[in-house]
Amino acid sequence: MQCICLNIGMLQTNCYVVYDDDKVGAVIDPGGNEDRIIEVIRKNNLKITHILLTHAHFDHLLAADAVRAETGAALMVSTADRSMLENRAYSMIPPHITIPIADELFDDKDEIKTGGLTFKVMHTPGHTPGSCCFKCENVLFSGDTLFESSIGRVDFPGGDAAAMECSLAALSELDGGYTVLPGHGGSTTIEREKANNPYLKGFYK
């Protein structure tokens, strides 16, 4: 698996372009700066088949339509965040931006295959009702659920502190060797977060 991280948009969101040895893959959270994302796709001669959203906040999807138009990829969001995506009050998509409509939905434990890669969906509500992480090989794309030494906010519309607590407990059960690539900030590992993240340490066993 090859992974290119682009730090984009007004909130410095991490967008990931992920592909296999045959240059087939997916874009995770295209939050803006579509020209930069498309440049990476063209420069590396990639075939992008899926656009995966970890959740439906605007800063993770503003370039989704542009990337879809460029690649023909299917835009996917969790079933639990579909209504949020289509509601500006929840997704916070600016009025002048057209709301992107998902082509396909996914749910907990679904497997999304692109080329030689398989993304396993882990539903981790809390930041939003449908927030999800994607497991691929030894990498966890954690969206805004888990950050280095922190977690996503739960005080936005649709946030749920109790649900976040359950999601963090589930993440704490993962193998410590997972590299965590979050929606904002630097990369980390599950092992490191178990040891140092104040929100996760309580679940360490």
Residue 148's beta-bridge partner residues? Answer: none
- Number of Cβ within 10 Å of residue 120's Cβ equals 14
Give exposure, 153-183, as e/b (b: 16+ Cβ within 10 Å). Answer: ebeeebbbeebbbebbeebbebeeebbbbbb
Per-residue pLDDT at 202 exceeds 70? no
Q: In what order do the strands lie in the sheet with 47-52?
A: 2-8, 13-19, 24-28, 47-52, 74-78, 104-106
Read off the pLDDT band of 205 (50, 70, 90).
Answer: very low
Residue 21 CA from chain centroid, whole number: 22
Strands 74-78 and 47-52: parallel
Residue 145: both structure tokens together: 């659920």
Q: Which of 171, 195, 190, 170 is nearest to 180 (CA)?
A: 190
pLDDT digits (tens, 9 = 90+) for 122-140: 999 999 999 999 999 999 9
Answer yes or no: are the C-beta atoms of 116 and 21 closer than 8 Å: yes
Per-residue pLDDT at 111 exceeds 70? yes
Q: Which residue has the tokens 């060797």?
A: 177
pLDDT digits (tens, 9 = 90+) for 68-100: 999 999 999 999 999 999 888 888 888 888 889
Read off the pLDDT band of 30 (50, 70, 90).
Answer: very high
pTM: 0.95
Give exposure, 44-65, as e/b (b: 16+ Cβ within 10 Å). Answer: eebbbbbbbbbbbbbbbbbbbb
Per-residue pLDDT at 107 exceeds 80? yes
pLDDT digits (tens, 9 = 90+) for 164-190: 999 999 999 998 889 999 999 999 999
Inter-helix orientation angle 34-43/64-71, to 10°? 30
Class of domain 2-92+99-203 as given by CATH? alpha beta
d(CA 124, CA 173): 13
Answer yes or no: are the C-beta atoms of 55 and 70 closer than 8 Å: no
Strands 74-78 and 104-106: parallel
| DSSP H/E element including 123 | strand 117-123
Domain residue ranges in the chain: 2-92+99-203
Q: Give me the pLDDT at residue 12, please.
A: 94
d(CA 99, CA 96): 9
